[in-house]
Amino acid sequence: MNVSVWMATTQKPQFESLSGNINTDVLIVGGGLTGILCAYMLDKAGVDYTLIEAKEICSGITKNTTAKVTVQHGLIYDKIIKKYGVEAAQKYYKANKNALARYRKLCQEFDCDFETKDAYVYSLNDKQKIEKEIQAYNAIGVKADIVEKTSLPFEISGAVKLKNQGQIHPLEFLYKLSNNLNIKENTKLINLKPNCAETDKGKISFKKAIITTHFPILNKHGSYYLKMYQHRSYVIAYENAQNVDGMYVDDDLKGLSFRNYGDLLLIGGGSHRTGKNGGAWAEISDFAKQYYPTAHEKYRWATQDCMTLDGIPYIGNYSKNTPDLFVATGYNKWGFTSSMVAAEILCDLVQEKSNEYSDIFSPSRTILHPQLALNGVETFFNLITPTTPRCPHLGCALKYNKYEHTWDCPCHGSRFTKDGELLDGPSTDDKHL
């Protein structure tokens, strides 16, 4: 059985299901990292809220994160400056810097193996990209270093080094944070109407709602099925491997990532668009055999990430036409700081307070990016593919994932067991056989 090191090393609390009809000021749909952080902040602010989760908290993507807590999201700052300017990049950096500081403070209250580590984004063969990112950091007034030698067991052309970032045990943190919050597990949303949510356990009347279901589950608003796709990646935790003493990620989406937890080395890689082919665990295993021949596998797992058109999350009103409905999604593989940023912004917005970072993350910003056309083409060809089974989300042809023995949707990333049971959204129903 594939299981993350986080699941194997902590005990989950239990929460009751909804029982009958209730009223709440703010409804949070989704009990992962973002939803729990929103609930915690609203609780501290004295706001009436209810969080519902279809299964158990942290049972989706959150349990499979590598939990790097850093403002360094790949080579993001050069990209933001080119698309939106220096001020936007400064806002993005400051929002994530504040998120890192908030984790550091919370982890003094909730012990969760928080460790301060340096973070590195490396390139195997393109030093120029690294140099451009250093220039971007300089432009926003941030000190970052370029290095050519790291503790990794292979040569690189260069890396951006950012000091004093963090890594964490995600489930230890969230299980402690969720204690005494108003959470209803095993409560599935069936239908969302204006100011009323129908669940399988009763109706919830609300004033405002926040959707934190990883990939948004409502197709009517926001066009998220065009604005995002999902990217799957794999992790193996090894004993008797190296302490790399830092957090490393390749600038290439298909590259490898590294961090330690205790005496384990976590290697991530084998990535591919969900529903496509990739290296999966075999790619990581082959690497480990070459560079860590005495290491042996302790845990393995897989995860997936929502990828936006411009590399920036969508946080704010679900659409321009939904003033009381909010969303957080599209974290582009950087869910920890992005979730904290989302919780800070959304908790302000549902209280009708302004937030200085809301504009850079607005889901209603321009969609005119090359990735939009690629997403459209992928959806079109999978809609006209005359095969079964089909995804009940929007009807795309599912593809068999030979690595995990699942049926995956290449359009929007929904996943199902061989028997049709839903594993990952945005679908909310089992597959059509």
pTM of the model: 0.94
- Which pLDDT does position 230 carry in this prediction? 93
What HEC string does the chain produce?
CCECHHHHCCCCCCCCCCCCCEEEEEEEECCCHHHHHHHHHHHHCCCCEEEECCCCCCCCCHHHCCCEECCCCCCHHHHHHHHHCHHHHHHHHHHHHHHHHHHHHHHHHCCCCCEEEEEEEEECCCHHHHHHHHHHHHHCCCCCEEECCCCCCCCCCEEEEEEEEEECCHHHHHHHHCCCCCEECCCCEEEEECCEEEECCEEEEEEEEEECCCCCCCCCCCCHHHHEEEEEEEEEEEECCCCCCCEEEECCCCCCEEEEECCEEEEEEEEEECCCCCCHHHHHHHHHHHHCCCCEEEEEEEEEEEEECCCCCEEEECCCCCCCEEEEECCCCCHHHHHHHHHHHHHHHHCCCCCCCHHHHCCCCCCCCHHHHHHHHHHHHHHHCCCCCECCCCCCECEEECCCCEEECCCCCCEECCCCCEEECCCCCCCEC
* CA–CA gap between residue 92 and residue 63 (Å, rounded): 26
Please check whether residue 160 is in contact with residue 148, taking contact to mean a CB–CB distance below 8 angstroms.
Answer: no
What are the pLDDT digits (tens) for 305-322?
999 999 999 999 999 999
Give the model's confidence band at 431: pLDDT under 50 very low, under 70 low, under 90 confident, else very high.
low
Give the model's confidence band at 30: pLDDT under 50 very low, under 70 low, under 90 confident, else very high.
very high
* CA–CA gap between residue 97 and residue 118 (Å, rounded): 14
* CA–CA gap between residue 308 and residue 402 (Å, rounded): 26
Residue 188 lies in a domain: no
- Which pLDDT does position 219 carry in this prediction? 84
Which segment of 25-29, 41-45, 409-413 scores lowest on mean pLDDT? 409-413
- Which pLDDT does position 305 carry in this prediction? 95
Kindly report the CA angle at 22 between 19 and 25, in degrees rounded to 5? 140
Residue 364 lies in a domain: no
**Better pLDDT: 342 or 410:** 342
* CA–CA gap between residue 406 and residue 390 (Å, rounded): 13
Residue 252 lies in a domain: no
pLDDT at 410 over 90: no
pLDDT at 433 over 60: no
Domain housing 412: 370-424
- Which pLDDT does position 384 carry in this prediction? 67
Residue 397 lies in a domain: yes
- Which pLDDT does position 432 carry in this prediction? 55
Which residues neighbour 297 within 8 Å (Cβ) at sequence distance 6 or greater? 236, 237, 238, 239, 285, 288
Residue 62 lies in a domain: no
- Which pLDDT does position 190 carry in this prediction? 94
What are the pLDDT digits (tens) for 248-307?
999 998 899 999 999 999 999 999 999 888 899 999 999 999 999 999 999 999 999 999
Give the model's confidence band at 25: pLDDT under 50 very low, under 70 low, under 90 confident, else very high.
very high
What are the pLDDT digits (tens) for 172-211?
999 999 999 999 999 999 999 999 999 999 999 999 999 9
Please check whether residue 50 is in contact with residue 24, taking contact to mean a CB–CB distance below 8 angstroms.
Answer: yes
Residue 378 lies in a domain: yes
**In the chain, what's the furthest Cα-to-Cα distance?**
61
What are the pLDDT digits (tens) for 345-359?
999 999 999 999 999
Question: For residue 281, how many other CB atoms are within 10 A of its CB?
Answer: 20
Closest alpha carbon to 112 in 164, 55, 46, 179: 179
- Which pLDDT does position 1 carry in this prediction? 59
Tokens representing 349 are 């917005």
Q: Tell me, what amino acid is at 417?
A: T
State the total domains in the chain.
1
- Mean pLDDT score of the chain: 94
pLDDT at 134 over 90: yes
Residue 394 lies in a domain: yes
CATH number for the domain spanning 390: value is 2.102.10.10
Which segment of 29-43, 104-118, 408-422 scores lowest on mean pLDDT? 408-422
Give the model's confidence band at 422: pLDDT under 50 very low, under 70 low, under 90 confident, else very high.
confident
- Which pLDDT does position 193 carry in this prediction? 92
Residue 343 lies in a domain: no
- 82 burial level (CB within 10 Å; 0-12, 13-18, 19+): exposed
